[in-house]
Amino acid sequence: MPTPPSIRHALLEDTAAALGKDYLQQLVNSLALHSGAQLVFISRPLPLPLRHVEVMVANRSQHPGRYPLAGTPCEQVIHQQQATMCHRGVNQDFSAEQDTAWQSYAGWPLVDKHGHCLGHLALFDERAHALPDTLLQDIAPFVTRAAAELKRLEHERISSARASWDALHSHFLRQYIQGQPLPALLGDMVEHIEQALPGWLCTILQVDATQRLRPLVGPSLPPAYTALIDGLAIGPMVGSCGAAAWHRKRLVAEDLQQHPNWAPYREVARQFALGSCWSEPIIDSKGKVHGTFAVYHHTPSAPTLEAITVIEDTARLLAVLMENDANRQALDSRTQWYQAILQNAADALSIIDMDGRVLEASDSLCKLLGYSQAEIRQLHLWDMVSHRSEAELRQQLAHTGDTPETFDSQNRTKDGQIIDVEVSVRRLVLDGQPVIWGSARDISLRKQQERLLREQATIDSLTGLYNRPTLLAHLEALLASPAHTTLALLMLDLDHFKQVNDHYGHACGDATLAHIANQMRQLLGPEGCAGRLGGEEFCVLLPGSTAAAATRYSQQLLATIAGQPLHFAGHTIHLTASLGLSLYQPGDDSRSLLARADMALYQAKHQGRNRMVMLPP
């Protein structure tokens, strides 16, 4: 076996030019080659199942893949964040690998600058006492580099996942706006989540008027188990979902055989092979609990921060959909009632001749538009219909047939207010003369709900800025515009945002993001736009901006953030941000602009934060 200095020299030569996953792969290949070890790999902890790891890169295709940590030297490396070496008999600690002849082992934790263990580097050798005592220290510089590369890969993975979830949520909002029934939409949502996150068994429960749980969807749970839940009253100690709805906050039962809320249901959980249940209440903008979104697993499992984000975001989306669906059902009920009144009392009815003059009108129509009977009979159709000319309306009168037609329109009231109405018209013959019979009903509330849903599909609900898909679509539109000449793109990331969440709680973190978004919005000109890319990362587009103007805006924004602290719950929280700036160059597309800004942001972070960096063209 080569001496440690020669290993270090060989590793440095082999890995110097590699980046990202290529670096990790080259490191394990080179370490195996120059140490003589039979197996070297880099792993990362798996969110599911609990206490497992997954091999990311290895020097050979035959490797453990994923395996439980319990009882292995890897457990000490990861959980205690301590490099470990064993000189013989290591194979006895790996129950799944009894066919191998491993004797020696070395393991290094891959720890980021915040002290979080991202995985580990493991080396196995079939020779006893084959590893020099200095190996743990000799490989330490390469372990530090591997941790940095692994952190960057994890950041890219999380950003990509965040973008995918944002796009998925926008897709479901659009589907709902376009009229897809809510039950079918909920089924599609659960199917997408379970496909994206294998091992998740998702269910959506509704809390009915009697405060009992009613399953809406849960395709991967046994029907017999779902039947047992149906009709269960919520309560402070009722499993995960009943308690989450009762307490109006998330309840995580990592092990159903140990959690006190599951004491009455442990045999049921054992019967259906359910190991854990995480439940998030679905609470709308008015504070009403519509139900819960729950995730089961077959084994005891604890949620990662990423998993909690998915659960929270899904529950927020469900709250929007279920609140608006309840409003729509209420409107439909009112519509049916109005229709019954119209059929029996000619409510909101009008008769108009072919010249557009009002011949008859019901009292309800007069009330809707604010006219008396005498006043409304002095009007023509174009006096009451907004945004359409007399010529257009005369043409519509002439083409109205005896088959009923229904369409949306806008009426102008006596005081000039514009209201949305649904109009039904048909041609009739009265006293030998053709006339137009019409009825109208106020749909302003429905239109308001539709506008709100369209806004929710494009706006980040926490900050009020564009969400990621909308901002990126706007960027693409700017680049495709013939009038496009200059453009500045800024990427901003809050410094030490995790410390805000850790010290003051996630409610303060949310308030911080909204605070920063408000500062960005106040400094933007009429042409600029801003959006939240995900987490604490924001993006600003400045069409027509020069380098000097974009630099002034950047410096002003950084000064404003640093000079206007957040006041939250009696605390004064001082904030700073790092900013990367890129300017449009001929041949740029959205990817290259974003990549340069991201690289500049990365440099701003590493140059000490609280600064702006613009890379040269």
In a domain, 581, yes or no: yes
Check residues 336 and 314 and name the one with the higher pLDDT. 314
Instruction: Supply the pLDDT for residue 403.
Output: 86
What is residue 163's predicted lDDT score, i.e. its pLDDT?
67
315 and 358 both lie in a single domain: no
Answer whether residue 168 is part of any domain. no
Lowest mean pLDDT among 50-54, 198-202, 236-240: 50-54
The whole-number pLDDT of residue 226 equals 94
> Would the pLDDT of 341 be above 50?
no
- 476 belongs to a structural domain: yes
- Residue 161 is assigned to a structural domain of this protein: no
- Mean pLDDT lowest among 148-157, 295-304, 396-405, 592-601: 148-157
Report the alpha-carbon distance of residue 53 to residue 47 in Å, rounded.
9
Q: What is the pLDDT of residue 445?
A: 79
Domain boundary among 389, 414, 447: 447
- pLDDT mean over 471-499: 89
Task: Give the pLDDT confidence score for residue 151 in this predicted structure.
Answer: 86
DSSP state of 90: G
Sequence-distant (6+) residues with CB within 8 A of 159 are: 533, 534, 535, 537
Strand runs labelled E in 143-250: 201-207, 213-217
Contact between residue 426 and residue 404 where contact means Cβ atoms under 8 Å apart: yes
Same domain, 56 and 84: yes
Confidence of residue 3 (pLDDT cuts 50, 70, 90): very low
In this predicted structure, what is the pLDDT of residue 47? 59
* Domain end (from 140, 156, 172): 156
Q: For the segment 69-98, what is each residue's pLDDT rounded down to a tens digit?
A: 777 888 888 888 889 998 887 877 665 444
How does pLDDT run across 254-304, given as a tens digit for each residue? 999 999 999 999 999 999 999 999 999 999 888 999 999 999 999 998 888
Residues 141 and 19 in one domain: yes
> Both 441 and 516 in a single domain?
no
d(CA 102, CA 123): 10
Average pLDDT value over all residues in the chain: 86
Give the pLDDT score at 299: 92
Residues 219 and 320 both lie in one domain: yes
Percent pLDDT > 70 in the chain is 92
- Is the pLDDT higher at 516 or at 177? 516
Is 175 a domain residue?
no
Identify the pLDDT of residue 288.
92
Q: What is the pLDDT of residues 101-144, one digit of tens each?
A: 788 899 999 998 888 888 899 999 988 888 888 888 888 899 99
Helices and strands counted in the chain (H then E): 20, 23
Out of 401, 417, 447, pick the residue that ends a domain.
447
Whether 39 and 131 map to the same domain: the answer is yes
pLDDT confidence of residue 485? 77
Provide the pLDDT for residue 95: 55
Q: Is 383 within a domain?
A: yes
Which run of H or E residues covers position 245? helix 241-247
pLDDT for the residue numbered 72: 84
pLDDT score recorded for residue 440: 84
220 shares its domain with 276? yes
* Average pLDDT over every residue of 598-609: 94
Q: Looking at the structure, do residues 302 and 398 belong to the same domain, yes or no?
A: no
Residue 415 sits in the same domain as residue 479: no
Say which residue the tokens 């008015």 belong to.
286
User: Is the domain of 105 the same as that of 56?
Assistant: yes
Domain of 378 in residue numbering reads as 346-447
- More reliable by pLDDT, 538 or 316: 538
121 and 207, same structural domain? no
Neighbours of 175 (CB within 10 A): 17
Q: What is the pLDDT of residue 484?
A: 73
- Within-domain flag for 218: yes
The answer to whether residues 103 and 117 touch, using CB atoms and an 8 Å cutoff, is no
CATH number at residue 120: 3.30.450.40
**For the chain, what is the domain count?**
4
* Residue 43 confidence (pLDDT) above 80: yes
Q: Which strand ranges, in their side-by-side order, compose the sheet holding 358-361? A: 358-361, 349-353, 433-442, 418-430, 405-412
Give me the mean pLDDT over the 444-469 stretch.
Answer: 80
Model pTM?
0.45
Q: Are residues 293 and 359 in the same domain?
A: no
Q: What is residue 258's predicted lDDT score, i.e. its pLDDT?
A: 95
- Tell me the pLDDT tens digit for each residue of 144-156: 998 888 888 877 7
> Is the Cβ–Cβ distance between 205 and 215 less than 8 Å?
yes
